[in-house]
Structures are given as structure tokens and as C-alpha cells.
């Protein structure tokens, strides 16, 4: 019996990104280089937190690997629950971050979308500017792999960075450089570091340009696309490869605007997302909102990588200041103000909040935030209770019902 060929939806095909293929090739090459280095020792490998200072690593020709990024991949690949359960069997509480649990489970079992899992680190670098969990997480990794750990302690910012706090982190940056020299057996090249810092500033500006295209009505991409394209600004920030990729992506987005190719074909509702994505449900959530002609045009998560800039006049001081200003290291009132700016800038009709069981620093105060934004910005808000990668706490029917009621509220308000 003849097999029927699946007919492709021309509208869906038209909206596909050409840059998606480039992105996959770029990230495949990145992980391949790291796996080769693990075998032949051609380069040192450092595991680092997403809020950590990666620029000095690139200056020392060290390959940075991000367990958080890998854990997001585990979630998107539907592998995270199984690996979280491995960690729980080892005695780690289910209340702990699912990124951590999945990461430890992968390290123990070697299960991963990457063949053989992540390459073994030569040393670890952690900064607690994103959360306190990474401190213990990386201590566990240090014991497991029997490699040294450098921890950067970044004071929480209430209002503005104080001179004392700035000097405190600057001193740690100098200690970090000494740590790298000792573990890489080479002198730190400050001129090279300046070049990398300049490259990183250009990369952040290009990422800003990518996100800014979503101010257009209709938006050429959604935050679900941004969640995918965020990879290079996290893993390859400070490299020419990163910047070249975003130049091409910006060009493609501008072409989409010129040709009226939008992320959602019949965009009528524009929404803002808060918190880390639900990696296990990206396509499902994208299609659910799109089915209601709603486009999530911006989010606090991807914009976080566009806000911390290095003053390259003195890269060490500039990086110390940038480490302070990570989105999760600022007080609640500053977060509120940033959300208000995003609502206005992207003309959001509603605010969708992911109450993330795993990420306490990101989720703390969200019910107050929802109330404030709803009252002061006069837009409806929706809270979705889930987890970034642990699908066991997600309810499909409950979420669908809440989304439909939320969309109806926005529609009624507009009529």
C-alpha cells in the first residue's frame, strides 16, 4: 500500500527561521570542540554558572561549559524527570532546583542529548549572583569530579552598587585571574582580556538588536524563538562566532519585518513572559498562545542578557560591576520597574508569569508583582504554576483553562 506523503503547511514553512540551522551548527561545533578537548587535552574546560564571568575564560582560551544550559536541553529532550529521580535516589530533595538534580543525574549516568554527556571539567567557576543554590551545586560537582572550584561572592544589590561592594568583587576578580593562571599554567593576558570584553559588549548590543525587533507590530519572532536563540550570548559571549551569528539573525529578522512575516500569523494580542521557560513544553505553549492569536513578544529572561554591560575602560572593574547587575541580583522594586519598562516598550496587552517551583529567587514575590502590574499598568496578569524542567508538577488541563480565561479577559477588555 502506498504511503501518503505528509503535506507541509506553507504558512508554517514560511515562518521558519533560516538562522535555526546556523544556530544548531554553531552549538554542535561548540560541544564537539569541548568533547575533543576532553580527549586530547588541547584546551582546558571549565564549567561555569550562567551569571559567572566567562570573558576571562575566553581570554585564556578555556572552553566554558554551562550545566544550566545542558539542564535546559535535558528538559527540552524529555530526559530531565528520569535524571531528577536519579538525584533523588541519591538523597537530594525534590524541593531542590531541577537544573541541579538533572545535572547530577546526568553526570552519574552519562545520559544526555550530547553523546557521553558533558565533557569532564578541569575546574569550576561559580558566581552566586543568580542564586544561592549554585554554591552547594558546584561544591557537589567539585567533590564528584575532584577538581578545584572558584566561587565569586556577589553581594545583593539594594538600590545601587556601593563602593565597598564594588571593591569587594574587584578583589575577587583579581583572585580569579590568579586562579586561572595557576590552573592554566600560563600568564593572564590583560590586552587579550580587553579584546574579549569589547567583543562581549558588541555581542550584548547585537542581542539587544535581536530582541528590539519584537517592538514591531506584528512581531517577527516570539519569546519562544528567543529562548532558542539565546544560546550563543550565554555560551559564546566574547567571541567573533557569537557576534557573526547575531548579525545574521538581526538581518533575517529585519527581512521578516519588511516581508510582513510574523511569529503568529494573525497577531492580535501581545504578551510579556516572566521567569525561565518551561523547557519541557516550549512548542506546546507556543502553539497554545498562537491558537488564540497571541504572541509573547518579550520576556524578562532573555532580556536579562541584554542589561549587564562591561565598561571596557577597565575590564576588571567593568566586569565586577556587571556581575552585580545581573537581573536576579537586584531588589524587587527594581524588578518591578524593569517589567513596567518592558510592558510599555513592547506594547504588552497582558503579563504571563511562570511561578517556577525550581527557581525561588526568580519566583519570590510574583503574586505581588502580578497585582502591582495589573493595577499600575492596567493589563491582565496570568500565573502559570510549573517547573523549568521537572514535568511532574505541570498540569496541562489546568494551564489550558487558565490561559483561555486569561485571553478572554484581554479580549473583553479590548472590546
Q: How far apart are CA 221 and CA 219, in angstroms?
A: 5
pLDDT score of 307: 77
**What's the chain look like in SS3?**
CCCCCCCCCHHHHHCCCCHHHHHHHHHHHHHHHHHHHHHHCCCCEEEECCCCCCHHHHHCCCEEECHHHHHHHHHHCCCHHHHHHHHHHCCCCCCCCHHHHHHHHHHHHCCCCCCCCCCCCCEEEEECCCCCHHHHHHHHHHHHHCCCEEEECCCCECCCCCHHHHHHHHHHHHHHHHHHHHHHCCCCCHHHHHHHHHHHHHHHHHHHHHHHHHHCCCCCCCHHHHHHHCHHHHHCCCCHHHHHHHHHHHHHHHHHHHCCCCCCCCCCEEEEEECCCCHHHHHHHHHHHHCCCEEEEEEHHHHHHHCCCCCCCCHHHHHHHHHHCCHHHECHHHHHHHHHHHHHHCCCCEEEEEEECCCHHHHCCHHHHHHHHHHHCCCCEEEEEECCCCHHHCCHHHHHHHHHHHHHHHHHHHC
Q: Between these two residues, 36 and 309, which has the higher pLDDT value?
A: 36
Angle between helices 315-324 and 190-212 (to 10 degrees): 40
54-74 pLDDT, tens digit per residue, is 999 999 999 999 999 999 999
Q: How far apart are CA 274 and CA 302, in angstroms?
A: 10
In a domain, 192, yes or no: yes
103-121 pLDDT, tens digit per residue, is 999 999 999 999 989 999 9
Do 346 and 215 touch, CB atoms closer than 8 A? Answer: yes
Give the confidence band of 4 by pLDDT, cuts at 50, 70, 90: low
10-37 pLDDT, tens digit per residue, is 667 777 899 999 999 999 999 999 999 9
Rounded to 5°, angle at Cα 159 from 136 and 196: 65
205-232 pLDDT, tens digit per residue, is 999 999 999 999 999 999 999 999 999 9
In a domain, 208, yes or no: yes
Q: How far apart are CA 289 and CA 280, in angstroms?
A: 16
In a domain, 1, yes or no: no
Q: Is the pLDDT of residue 278 over 70?
A: yes
Tally Cβ neighbours within 10 Å of residue 57: 24
In a domain, 120, yes or no: yes
Q: For residue 188, give every residue at least 6 positions away whose Cβ sits within 8 Å of its Cβ, in sequence order, or none.
A: 56, 59, 60, 177, 180, 181
CA torsion 16-19-24-25 (nearest 10°) is 140
Do 213 and 255 touch, CB atoms closer than 8 A? Answer: no
pLDDT score of 5: 56
388-402 pLDDT, tens digit per residue, is 999 999 999 999 999
CATH number at residue 147: 3.40.50.11900
Q: Is the pLDDT of residue 2 over 60?
A: no
At residue 91, φ and ψ (nearest 5 deg) are 110, 0
pLDDT score of 187: 97
% of the chain exceeding 90 in pLDDT: 91
In a domain, 37, yes or no: yes
- Number of domains present in the structure of the chain: 1
CA torsion 245-307-316-50 (nearest 10°) is -70
The domain in which residue 361 lies consists of 17-414
Do 221 and 252 touch, CB atoms closer than 8 A? Answer: no
> Please, what sign has the CA dihedral across residues 130, 131, 137, 139?
positive
Query: What is the average pLDDT across 188-198?
Result: 96
The length of the chain is: 415
Closest by alpha carbon to 133, among 206, 68, 198, 179?
68
At residue 237, φ and ψ (nearest 5 deg) are -60, 130
pLDDT score of 309: 74
* Grid cell for residue 223: 519569546
In a domain, 4, yes or no: no
Give the confidence band of 75 by pLDDT, cuts at 50, 70, 90: very high
In a domain, 6, yes or no: no
Q: Is the pTM of this model over 0.85?
A: yes
Q: How far apart are CA 17 and CA 337, in angstroms?
A: 32
pLDDT score of 311: 83
Burial class (CB in 10 A: 0-12, 13-18, 19+), 43: middle
Query: What is the average pLDDT across 172-191?
Result: 97
In a domain, 11, yes or no: no
Query: What is the average pLDDT across 338-353?
Result: 98
Tally Cβ neighbours within 10 Å of residue 28: 11
Give the confidence band of 8 by pLDDT, cuts at 50, 70, 90: low
Amino acid at each position: 500500500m502506498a504511503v501518503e506523503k505528509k503535506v507541509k503547511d506553507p504558512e508554517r514553512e514560511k515562518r521558519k527561521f533560516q538562522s535555526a540551522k546556523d544556530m544548531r551548527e554553531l552549538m554542535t561545533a561548540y560541544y564537539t570542540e569541548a568533547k575533543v578537548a576532553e580527549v586530547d587535552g588541547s584546551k582546558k574546560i571549565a564549567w561555569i554558572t550562567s551569571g559567572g564571568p566567562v570573558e576571562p575564560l575566553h581570554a585564556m582560551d578555556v572552553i566554558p561549559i554551562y550545566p544550566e544550559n545542558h539542564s535546559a536541553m535535558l528538559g527540552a529532550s524529555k530526559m530531565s524527570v528520569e535524571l531528577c529521580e536519579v538525584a533523588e535516589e541519591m538523597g537530594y530533595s525534590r524541593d531542590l532546583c531541577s537544573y541541579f538534580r538533572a545535572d547530577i543525574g546526568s553526570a552519574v549516568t552519562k545520559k544526555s542529548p550530547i553523546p557521553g554527556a558533558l565533557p569532564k571539567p578541569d575546574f569550576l567557576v561559580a558566581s552566586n549572583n543568580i542564586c544561592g543554590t549554585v554554591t552547594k551545586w558546584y561544591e557537589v560537582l567539585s567533590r564528584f569530579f575532584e577538581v578545584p572550584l572558584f566561587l565569586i561572592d556577589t553581594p545583593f544589590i539594594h538600590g545601587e552598587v556601593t563602593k565597598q561592594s564594588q571593591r569587594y568583587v574587584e578583589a575577587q576578580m583579581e583572585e580569579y585571574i590568579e586562579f586561572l593562571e595557576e590552573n592554566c599554567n600560563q600568564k593572564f593576558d590583560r590586552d587579550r582580556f580587553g579584546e574579549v570584553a569589547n567583543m562581549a559588549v558588541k555581542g550584548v548590543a547585537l542581542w539587544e538588536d535581536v530582541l528590539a525587533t519584537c517592538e514591531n507590530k506584528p512581531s517577527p519572532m516570539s519569546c519562544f524563538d528567543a529562548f532558542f536563540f539565546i544560546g550563543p550570548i550565554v555560551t559564546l559571549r566574547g567571541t567573533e562566532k557569537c557576534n557573526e551569528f547575531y548579525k545574521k539573525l538581526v538581518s533575517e529578522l529585519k527581512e521578516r519585518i519588511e516581508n510582513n512575516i510574523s511569529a503568529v500569523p494573525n497577531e492580535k494580542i501581545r504578551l510579556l513572559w516572566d521567569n525561565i521557560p518551561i523547557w519541557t513544553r516550549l512548542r506546546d505553549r507556543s502553539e497554545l498562545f498562537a491558537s488564540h492569536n497571541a504572541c509573547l513578544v518579550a520576556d524578562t529572561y532573555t532580556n536579562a542578557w541584554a542589561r549587564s554591560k562591561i565598561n571596557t575602560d577597565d575590564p576588571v572593574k567593568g566586569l565586577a560591576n556587571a556581575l552585580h547587575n545581573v537581573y536576579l541580583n537586584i531588589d524587587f522594586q527594581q524588578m518591578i520597574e524593569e517589567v513596567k519598562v518592558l510592558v510599555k516598550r513592547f506594547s504588552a496587552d497582558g503579563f504571563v508569569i511562570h511561578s517556577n517551583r525550581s527557581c525561588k529567587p526568580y519566583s519570590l514575590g510574583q503574586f505581588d508583582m502580578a497585582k502591582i502590574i495589573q493595577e499600575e499598568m492596567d493589563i491582565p496578569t496570568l500565573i502559570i504554576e510549573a517547573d523549568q524542567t521537572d514535568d511532574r508538577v505541570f498540569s496541562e488541563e489546568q494551564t489550558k483553562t487558565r490561559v483561555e480565561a486569561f485571553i478572554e479577559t484581554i479580549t473583553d477588555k479590548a472590546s
